[in-house]
Structure 1
């Protein structure tokens, strides 16, 4: 099994890079995953990642992109709740890539 290593500790992940235990997540691990994805985390990235963590905590599911856009729009406003904005932040798919960085399982319906 593959793993991310942060400060000498290994965090196992699946073949696509999603960590196996959502409770292992921390911001240093998120930065490591983002680096592996080729992303420099900005405040805007963190806002979406933290939103996803809260969403998962409440609903126990990682949202697919359509649900994510709608939920972000409701919570953070129309300017941030759009496909365009979220794809600019997470070019490999806002639900898929952002959930990976947030330490969540792969969203249902994502290939």
Structure 2
């Protein structure tokens, strides 16, 4: 089964990181990504640009409305994701717990719908 692992953390805290801290975090993510590629769990994954680059789209009464920025103000923002293949939820949770961002933010684990 496929699961989407959504990585949330504070953009404000991320912006306070030193270049050395960012490089260390990047290396940690590289190591993690390589491990799930090698184990066969990896399907896809990417980091996201900051929420300041986001555009929210709504359609109301047939009209497309756009707003700069994210849908809601929160303490943690969606910063990236992994799409993984896992035999069950426990395996997906184990993969999520190893994501470097889990130490300071949170990881949402969501099963992907299967359409037949």
- Which protein has the bigger helix share? 1
**RCO greater where, 1 or 2, for CA within 8 Å and sep 6 or more?**
2
Computing the radius of gyration from Cα coordinates, the structure with the larger value is 2
Instruction: State the TM bucket, normalised to the shorter chain.
Output: under 0.3
**TM-score, structure 2 length as denominator?**
0.27
- Which protein has the bigger strand share? 2
